[in-house]
């Protein structure tokens, strides 16, 4: 760092009393160099300074192209000849390519041109290319007096914002126009002689913070996931093993009484494995499942459709964690009867188009309650308490159809940011065709419910687009600064009292 710059700053302060803006006082000196000099002088208490922030706009490459060649709308206008015939839309697309639609849209908005059949015709004889004029102003001054113009140019990716920093400087308590070298360490040589008696030492800054250690950060999904796990444990649930992302179609569909002709098994909905493409064998009770599908049983007539062992062996990326639930229920059926509650939270896969509320890969939260006398009413009462423990109090249910539950209900919650009801998941009572085929004894009823982990997290975090939570649009800074998950939990009694008030 140059002592010349520090001396120049001190002499300027001595002459003027203060420096209002270093950007004006030291035009040819980079801002970071000025800051380094100021920090050094401040450590000696010779000056004090405040940071000044200025927003400067610069022209992007696309904006520079429109500066050089005219705006897209002006190019389209000049390509349209005067007269009633005009020029065909296809001809403009051939000539201008991708910018044709952009230029036409802006031209329509400015009422320079209009559509006449398959042609574009002029509405005016002359125009002022205001976009080019505005870009010239930004290029010359770094800004524009009209904020709406800045907003429009930014939206069209024609300009970008750059923040510049400068400093307002005042005299410090030890102000002087002379620089003194302060010692930073007490050395052996000083102690051997008398130099330490007359040496001036730089003051220690005991309030200075150390560097924050770099470390891992839990994703908001993982924080909410752990909170969900604790809620399940509080309510007496056991966690199911979910380490198999690949399942046979038998466990994913057939054991759940999903017909082999169901649309959910189509390629456009399910990811099928190519290698290996099929399981080597099916569970020992597969023939029972086949017979219920083809001929019916347990009060059902079945689907009366052919059932293929080959189809049941096909391997898929599991489309729901209910594939795990069916295996857990099979193991439960082989044990002496006991009431049981299980849950799982893990990834599932659907061949879906990605949008603001859907992903092809997401996390499913699932719970099942097996007990004699289990009913839909008990399930609704449970879900009411369960969601209130998660801090979600505004929910409602809607009748729906599921192949393996009857009756079935969709669960909705109000999303304040989206200002609409958002589906959280599904629930219902597992069908006897499924339960008895798995080996559960007569009288044992099983209620199940499933919801995505992402949507409750979106509601908690106020996120409108699920792609801001998972995927390439995620802001890493948001993940690092996201607070610990503390859902506004209520127990059943507290929730009832709160509602009563």
**Each residue of 32-53: pLDDT tens digit?**
899 989 988 888 788 999 999 8
At 463, is the pLDDT very low, low, confident or very high (cuts 50, 70, 90)?
confident
Does the CA dihedral 343-332-383-317 come out positive or negative? positive
Q: Residue 72 above 90 pLDDT? A: yes
Give the mean model confidence (pLDDT) for residues 149-165: 91
For strand 47-59 and strand 340-349, is the pairing parallel, antiparallel, or unpaired?
A: unpaired
Q: How far is CA 167 from CA 9, 163, 179, 208, 283, in A?
A: 12, 13, 21, 21, 75
Mean pLDDT, the chain, as a whole number? 87
At 1, is the pLDDT very low, low, confident or very high (cuts 50, 70, 90)?
very low
CB 325 within 8 A of CB 344: yes
Residue 176 corresponds to which tokens in the numbers above? 């002087």
Q: Residue 472 above 80 pLDDT? A: no
At 214, is the pLDDT very low, low, confident or very high (cuts 50, 70, 90)?
confident
Q: How far apart are CA 457 and CA 206, in angstroms?
A: 41
The model's pTM = 0.54
Backbone phi and psi for residue 396, each to the nearest 5 degrees, phi listed first? -150, 160
């Amino acid at each position: 760092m140059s002592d010349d710059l520090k001396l120049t700053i001190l002499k300027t302060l001595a002459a003027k009393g203060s420096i209002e803006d270093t950007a004006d006082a030291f035009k040819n000196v980079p801002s970071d160099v000025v800051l380094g000099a100021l920090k050094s002088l401040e450590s000696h208490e010779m000056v004090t300074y405040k940071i000044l922030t200025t927003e400067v706009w610069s022209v992007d490459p696309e904006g520079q192209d429109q500066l050089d060649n005219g705006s897209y709308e002006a190019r389209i206008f000049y390509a349209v000849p005067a007269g009633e015939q005009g020029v065909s839309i296809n001809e403009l697309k051939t000539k201008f390519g991708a910018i044709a639609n952009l230029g036409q849209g802006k031209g329509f908005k400015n009422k320079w041109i209009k559509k006449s059949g398959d042609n574009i015709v002029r509405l005016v004889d002359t125009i002022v290319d205001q976009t080019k004029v505005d870009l010239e102003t930004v290029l010359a001054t770094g800004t524009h007096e009209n904020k709406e113009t800045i907003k429009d140019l930014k939206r069209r990716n024609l300009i970008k914002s750059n923040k510049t920093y400068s400093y307002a400087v005042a005299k410090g308590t030890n102000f002087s126009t002379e620089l003194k070298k302060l010692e930073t360490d007490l050395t052996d040589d000083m102690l051997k002689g008398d130099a330490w008696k007359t040496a001036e030492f730089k003051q220690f800054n005991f309030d200075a913070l150390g560097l924050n250690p770099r470390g891992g950060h839990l994703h908001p999904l993982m924080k909410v996931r752990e909170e969900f796990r604790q809620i399940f444990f509080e309510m007496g649930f056991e966690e199911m093993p979910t380490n198999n992302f690949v399942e046979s179609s038998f466990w994913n569909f057939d054991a759940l009484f999903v017909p082999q002709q169901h649309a959910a098994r189509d390629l456009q909905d399910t990811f099928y494995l190519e290698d290996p493409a099929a399981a080597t064998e099916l569970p020992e009770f597969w023939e029972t499942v086949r017979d219920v599908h083809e001929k019916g049983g347990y009060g059902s007539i079945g689907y009366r459709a052919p059932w293929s062992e080959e189809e049941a062996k096909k391997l898929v990326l599991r489309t729901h964690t209910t594939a795990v639930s069916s295996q857990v229920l099979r193991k439960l059926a082989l044990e002496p009867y006991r009431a049981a509650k299980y849950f799982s939270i893990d990834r599932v896969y659907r061949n879906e188009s990605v949008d603001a509320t859907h992903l092809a890969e997401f996390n499913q939260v699932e719970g099942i309650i097996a007990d004699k006398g289990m009913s839909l009413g008990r399930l609704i009462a449970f879900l009411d308490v369960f969601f209130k423990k998660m801090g979600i109090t505004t929910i409602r249910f809607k009748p729906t159809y599921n192949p393996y539950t009857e009756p079935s209900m969709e669960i909705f919650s109000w999303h304040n940011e989206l200002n609409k009801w958002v589906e959280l998941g599904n629930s219902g009572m597992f069908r006897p065709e499924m339960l008895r085929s798995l080996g559960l004894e007569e009288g044992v009823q099983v209620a199940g419910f499933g919801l995505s982990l992402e949507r409750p997290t979106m509601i908690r975090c106020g996120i409108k687009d699920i792609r801001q939570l998972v995927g390439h649009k995620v802001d890493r800074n948001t993940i690092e600064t996201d607070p610990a998950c503390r859902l506004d939990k209520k127990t059943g009694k507290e929730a009832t009292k709160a509602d009563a008030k």
